[in-house]
Amino acid sequence: MNLKEVIDVIDGELLVDAPVNIDIRNACCSDLMSDVLMFVKPNMLLITGLTNPQSVRTADMAEVPVIVFVRGKYPAAETLALAEELGIAVVLSAYTMFETAGLLYQAGLRGLGKLPIVRQR
Amino acid sequence: MKSRFTLLSLLGGDGGLGKVHELIREIRVGRVMTTALFTVAPDNLMSELKELMREHHISGVPVVENGALAGIVSIEDLIHALEAGKLDSPVRDFMTSGTLIVARANEPVMEAVRRFEATKIGRMPVLDTQDKLVGILTRGDIIEALLSALQEVYSEAERIHERPEYFFQALESDSTSLVLRYHVKHRDFAGGGNASAKIKQALLRIGASPLLARRVAIATYEAEINLIIHTDNGGTITADIKPYEISILAEDRGPGIPDVELACQPGYSTATPEIREMGFGAGMGLVNIKRCTDDMNIWSAVGIGTRLQMVFRVSPEETKRGESSN
């Protein structure tokens, strides 16, 4: 799926354009950046409600080419400026995280499948 | 006179020039020719040709009649007309016509170079497969293409020299390393990630693979966020980059971790709800750092500070560029 198809599927708004010349096949949803850093693989789509610049920093570290912000939460100017600087595309979805993910899953995007269970305190 | 300098001898050379030779052999005339094309008709006057040449700084113009190439007229022909005082004569009287030497848009530039060498002409009209005039090719066009090919070979050589093995070979010592140091401010969420991003860039620039740069960046980023969230006065991140190993040290002067073992447990966090709102404090930072490193050591004492050392061993395949991650 290319960037344009992602935008079409979720009826999203492109806030930062970037040359994304790859076929996006996987996505992950999280508001916790440590989770993203732990699990995300390069070239995955990041779906998040966390609109501060750290979401863009995280995407940069993890080589995420496109961030989709959900629930129509318009990100701060500094978030968009950092995305522009780092060449990461930003899309705004008016749907909730669940619905945004559902639409993209229905359109063919996949996640990481089952992960090993980690016991927490 | 030693040896005659010709375009051909330059292109046929050995070593690095062999690569240029290869490039020039592959490039087609269509990519090199000038397409902004001025033409004249046989009935145009030589005085009109003179104006056209002067205005556009050109030295040769194809002559087109009924949509087909009828000849070519050059600055030499114009000089002949001037000498004879015949600027009011038509181009037809001075142009070269008959069997013209032309180039084809789809032929290799090398072929055109041979034709330039064999004849002494300065330019060739370029025709497509339907004999339609599509451009003009000069020696200048070829030299430009040659220079850009040379530039390509040169940049490639430069890229190779930026790889760590070359980078480090140039410096002599018993143990050479590159040290990068960054100061991280307490609660500076806006600047969080700067140090990690710079280290990642530096690694990629000196030839680390994307995979290596990524695992170093992720672990360093987690450590950087920890300095921002948990310290009293921020701290420093020091990257010590050796050809075979990268060591990153995150240091601070307090408050220190009371129970390091507990802090390393997945999900354990002392972060405030405010910090969790910013997307951090999930208690996965140290777990994630462990996953990304080959070796991780934490030393901490309450009231003194914490030192986190992260070691990444550089495997031979991790100095290669362009391989895919994970």
Contacts of A67 in chain B (CB under 8 A): none
> Strands B133-138 and B235-241: what pairing?
unpaired
What distance in Å separates residue A18's CA from the closest CA in chain B? 19
Residue A117 touches chain B, beta carbons under 8 Å? no
Average pLDDT over residues B90-95: 94
User: Residue B75 burial (CB < 10 Å; 0-12/13-18/19+)?
Assistant: middle
* pLDDT per position as a tens digit, B46-61: 999 999 999 988 888 9
Residue A85 touches chain B, beta carbons under 8 Å? no
Distance CA B266, CA A115 (A): 15
Contacts of B285 in chain A (CB under 8 A): 34
Question: By percentage, how much of chain B surpasses pLDDT 70?
Answer: 84
Pull the structure tokens for residue A6.
């992602």
* pLDDT per position as a tens digit, B177-200: 889 999 999 988 888 899 999 999
Q: Please, which residues bridge with residue A89 across strands?
A: A66
Pull the structure tokens for residue B267.
């999900």
Q: Inter-chain contact A61–B279, Cβ cutoff 8 Å?
A: no
In the β-sheet with B178-184, what is the strand arrangement from edge to edge? B178-184, B235-241, B245-252, B305-313, B295-301
Of B189, B218, B284, the CB nearest to A61: B218
Contacts of B200 in chain A (CB under 8 A): 61
Of A34, A48, A78, the CB nearest to B280: A34
Residue A60 touches chain B, beta carbons under 8 Å? yes
Maximum C-alpha span of chain A: 43
* pLDDT per position as a tens digit, A69-79: 999 999 999 99
pLDDT of residue B171: 66
What are the DSSP E strand ranges found in chain A?
13-16, 27-29, 45-48, 66-69, 89-92
Distance CA B272, CA A114 (A): 30
Contacts of A37 in chain B (CB under 8 A): 218, 221-222, 284, 288
Distance CA B154, CA B140 (A): 21
Average pLDDT over residues A66-89: 94
In a mutational test of the A interface, the residue from B278, B293, B323 whose CB has the highest number of chain A CBs within 10 Å is B278
**A18-36 burial, b if ≥16 CB within 10 A, otherwise e?**
bebeeebebbbbbbbbbbb
* pLDDT per position as a tens digit, B217-235: 999 999 999 999 899 899 9
Q: At residue A62, what is the residue type? A: A
In the β-sheet with B103-104, what is the strand arrangement from edge to edge? B103-104, B123-127, B133-138
| 8 Å CB contact between B224 and A37 | no
Cα atoms in the Cβ-side hemisphere of radius 13 Å centred on B129: 2
Q: Inter-chain contact B278–A78, Cβ cutoff 8 Å?
A: no
> Strands B178-184 and B235-241: what pairing?
antiparallel
- Closest to B72 in 3D by CA, of B42, B52, B93, B95: B95
Which domains occur in chain B, in start order?
Answer: 7-157 (3.10.580.10), 167-319 (3.30.565.10)
Pull the structure tokens for residue B175.
């143990």
Residue A51 touches chain B, beta carbons under 8 Å? no
B105 or B322, higher pLDDT: B105
pLDDT of residue B22: 67
Residue A97 touches chain B, beta carbons under 8 Å? no
Tell me the angle at which helices B194-205 and B210-230 cross, rounded to the nearest 10 degrees. 160
* pLDDT per position as a tens digit, A29-60: 999 888 888 888 888 999 999 998 999 999 99
What distance in Å separates residue A55's CA from the closest CA in chain B? 8
Contacts of B212 in chain A (CB under 8 A): none
Q: What is the ipTM of this complex?
A: 0.85
Of B210, B279, B284, the CB nearest to A52: B279
Residue B283 touches chain A, beta carbons under 8 Å? yes
| 8 Å CB contact between B29 and B103 | yes
Note the Cα B47 to chain centre separation in Å.
47
Which domains occur in chain A, in start order?
Answer: 3-106 (3.40.1390.20)
Mean of the per-residue pLDDT values for chain A? 91
In a mutational test of the A interface, the residue from B204, B221, B288 whose CB has the highest number of chain A CBs within 10 Å is B221
Would you tell me how many other CB atoms lie within 10 Å of the CB of residue B326?
Answer: 7
